[in-house]
Structure 1
């Protein structure tokens, strides 16, 4: 008869095995590959030590990509996390409850649309000649604001980031709606008795009560910001020049266009370290899982 201490490990063994094979083993192998120089079409590998990392940290494009990822992270926190929380609070307010189902669908619909369809849609919106955005600005008498949004280095990355906010805010909003629905109504009633208005109830009741979900939403958003690939690759390919390059597109281009697999592995390792550091900082700041 198996010991009671052994049985729980048997239940989680399949999960551990799958994670080991499909998550941790590839991470270890990628880290090992980052110390080699090799081609995808040749079995030969040349050990170069930290040369790939030294080359990476001397590459100007790497710092452009890192800066763009940081822009992604900052803007996504503002619009997706805090914007999603505000939207969720508004839709869960008793005054707007009768239309909340409709607006939940409206805001969540972009999440389930294919990124290819979204990229095609926004390529029309951003079109400098017939695009809806420039047409709207012209209609409002703001012709001096019109431009080739995806074709100018000053605006390309921000145009791409805007697409991500439009697509993802609904998902974060739904996470917060679930968290807000779990808040005891007595807390809001007590705050109302104390004379708190809607803004004070939001600050002193809603925000503290969704702290754990705030951590999860922030973690998802920041991890997504440092691993983003689809939107910049499909909309701009990292251009014009390297203006909208992110770490994901830099990795892809290094691996599959330049055939620098060891260098690409070094980029992947840096992305992993960055996301781990961000997660650790968040856990420290949010003190998740603790009461205080």
Structure 2
């Protein structure tokens, strides 16, 4: 009886989480995939089976191509700023020279994470304002007025303006994760490196980076997956405009489903977003070899 109880208890403990995942993740996921084979309206009770037509449309949809390129730009810039720069920032904050100021600096860097994205978007809409915005005013102040432009109204700069806002908000969160990882590194490693004559940069590349490899993997996964799923920032700031220059896949999916009432094709775009996220996660796990014994 005791052996059976031991086997049943773990299963019973897992049941609530499995039930939660099944109801709110896996069932909607399969339902969305099923819907992508049909052409239907959100207000209609009938569905017209169209097979793989919606998936074929994905290859001919120029908006999907533009949105995919924007998501890739989002991911590359986010990895550079939110992962690599955040790691450098975390290492600086954990340096002995800044120990007294580190707690206050952590609060300052983490504060944007706690602010609502709607408030941040409103703030940056003032910053990017072409007439009285802080960014153009600063450029004029330092004699670079030739670079001033309507950042959100220019097709060439809109997506980068949106990405910049996202980096400002998110870098504090990734920095905190790196700080926790750096604090767990044994101080004996740094002391031994100092005895061998290693400087700060040498210790950063030879000790800090290898010791936070697991956290770096998690942060890259969070950052890139978030870049593929990004919706709030481009939707609130530009709604994908001007034209479709700052369109993201999630914004395109929303517009198809709720503005154009093409739920079947919107489900196909949602399936594409899921596949991209899943493929990257699998590749990242395989390449990094995280969790395996050396």
TM (norm. structure 2) is 0.98
Pairwise CA distance, 1:191: 1.1
Show the counterpart of 1:233.
235
Tell me, which stretches of 5 or more residues in structure 2 are unaligned? none
Distance 1:291 1:160 in 2: 40
Show the counterpart of 2:74.
72
Show the counterpart of 1:129.
131
Show the counterpart of 2:106.
104
Pairwise CA distance, 1:43: 1.1
Distance 1:284 1:199 in 2: 29
Distance 1:153 1:291 in 2: 48
Pairwise CA distance, 1:38: 0.5
Query: What secondary structure sits across from 2:97 in the alignment?
Result: coil
After superposition, residues 159-174 of structure 1 pair within 5 angstroms as 159-174=161-176
After superposition, residues 174-213 of structure 1 pair within 5 angstroms as 174-213=176-215
Equivalent residue in structure 2 for 1:118, among 110, 113, 120? 120
Tell me, which stretches of 5 or more residues in structure 1 are unaligned? none
Pairwise CA distance, 1:219: 0.6
Distance 1:266 1:84 in 2: 35
Show the counterpart of 1:273.
275
Count of residue pairs the alignment pairs up: 292
Equivalent residue in structure 2 for 1:257, among 239, 256, 259? 259
Show the counterpart of 1:153.
155
1:114-141 residue CA offsets vs partner (Å, 9 max, x unmatched): 1111011000000001000000000110
Query: What secondary structure sits across from 2:39 in the alignment?
Result: strand
Distance 1:152 1:170 in 2: 28
Query: What secondary structure sits across from 1:245 in the alignment?
Result: coil
Aligned CA RMSD, in angstroms, stands at 0.8
1:146-199 residue CA offsets vs partner (Å, 9 max, x unmatched): 000000000000000000000000000000000000011011111111111101
Distance 1:129 1:187 in 2: 54
Equivalent residue in structure 1 for 2:285, among 267, 274, 283? 283
1:78-103 residue CA offsets vs partner (Å, 9 max, x unmatched): 00001111110000011111111111
TM (norm. structure 1) is 0.99
Pairwise CA distance, 1:3: 3.7
Equivalent residue in structure 1 for 2:47, among 45, 48, 71? 45
